[in-house]
C-alpha cells in the first residue's frame, strides 16, 4: 500500500514538472534592440531624437514557435529624459498609431501602450519614441517591459549613451 502511495506521488510530481516545462516552452521569446541590431546607441546632449526600438519574436529551437499576440510595450527611462511621443506602424497596417506618454513608476518615467498585432516567428515591430536627451553626458539605461496575451515576455535593457 505504501509503495502505491509513493509511486502515485512520484508520478504526480513528474507529470506536474512536465506540464510546467511545456507551459514555459510555448511562450514566445522576444528580442528588443536598436535598428543596427545592438543594445547600445549614442546621441548628443539636449538632442531631440526619434529613438527607434525593434521588438522581434525570435522564436524557440524546434517546435512550437508560438506567435506573440496583442503586445504591450512599456519603456521606462530616467526622469532626465523628456519622452514626448510613442508610436508604431505595423507592417500590415499603413496608419501610424500613437500613444500618449505615461507617467512615473519606480522613479522612472514611462511611455507605451498596447500594440494590436500578431508577431509570428521572426517577425518584428518597429516602435519610435520621440524624446529630448538630458543635459548631462553619461550612460543611461532604458528598461523595456514586454507582455502579450500569452503572458509576461520579460524586461529588456537597452543603453543610451549621451555625449
pTM of the model: 0.77
User: In this structure, what DSSP letter does residue 92 have?
Assistant: T
Alpha-carbon dihedral sign for residues 133, 136, 138, 143: negative
Q: Which candidate, 22, 28, 23, 122, places its Cα nearest to that of 70?
A: 28
Please measure the distance between the N-terminal and C-terminal CA atoms of the chain and give it in whole angstroms.
73
Q: Is residue 106 part of a domain?
A: yes
Residue-by-residue pLDDT tens, the chain, 163 positions: 789 899 999 999 999 888 877 766 678 889 999 998 999 999 999 999 999 999 999 877 766 678 888 899 999 999 899 888 888 876 555 555 555 566 777 788 888 888 888 888 888 888 888 899 999 999 999 999 999 988 888 999 999 999 9
Q: Is residue 17 part of a domain?
A: no
Q: Is residue 116 part of a domain?
A: yes
Q: Which candidate, 119, 128, 63, 71, places its Cα nearest to that of 98?
A: 128
Q: Is residue 148 part of a domain?
A: yes
Q: Is residue 112 part of a domain?
A: yes
- Domain count within the chain: 1
Q: Residue 42's domain is classified under what CATH number? A: 2.60.40.680
Q: Is residue 13 part of a domain?
A: no
- Look up the domain containing 156 and give its range: 28-162
Amino acid at each position: 500500500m505504501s509503495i502505491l502511495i509513493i509511486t502515485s506521488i512520484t508520478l504526480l510530481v513528474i507529470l506536474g514538472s512536465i506540464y510546467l516545462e511545456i507551459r514555459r516552452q510555448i511562450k514566445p521569446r522576444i528580442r528588443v534592440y536598436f535598428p543596427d541590431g545592438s543594445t547600445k546607441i549614442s546621441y548628443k546632449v539636449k538632442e531631440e531624437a526619434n529613438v527607434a526600438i525593434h521588438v522581434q519574436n525570435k522564436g524557440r529551437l524546434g517546435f512550437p514557435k508560438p506567435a506573440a499576440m496583442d503586445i504591450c510595450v512599456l519603456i521606462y527611462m530616467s526622469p532626465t529624459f523628456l519622452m514626448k511621443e510613442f508610436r508604431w506602424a505595423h507592417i500590415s497596417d499603413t496608419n501610424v498609431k500613437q500613444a500618449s506618454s505615461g507617467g512615473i513608476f519606480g522613479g522612472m518615467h514611462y511611455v507605451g501602450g498596447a500594440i494590436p498585432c500578431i508577431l509570428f516567428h521572426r517577425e518584428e515591430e518597429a516602435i519610435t519614441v520621440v524624446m529630448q536627451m538630458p543635459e548631462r553626458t553619461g550612460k543611461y539605461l532604458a528598461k523595456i517591459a514586454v507582455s502579450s496575451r500569452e503572458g509576461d515576455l520579460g524586461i529588456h535593457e537597452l543603453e543610451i549613451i549621451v555625449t
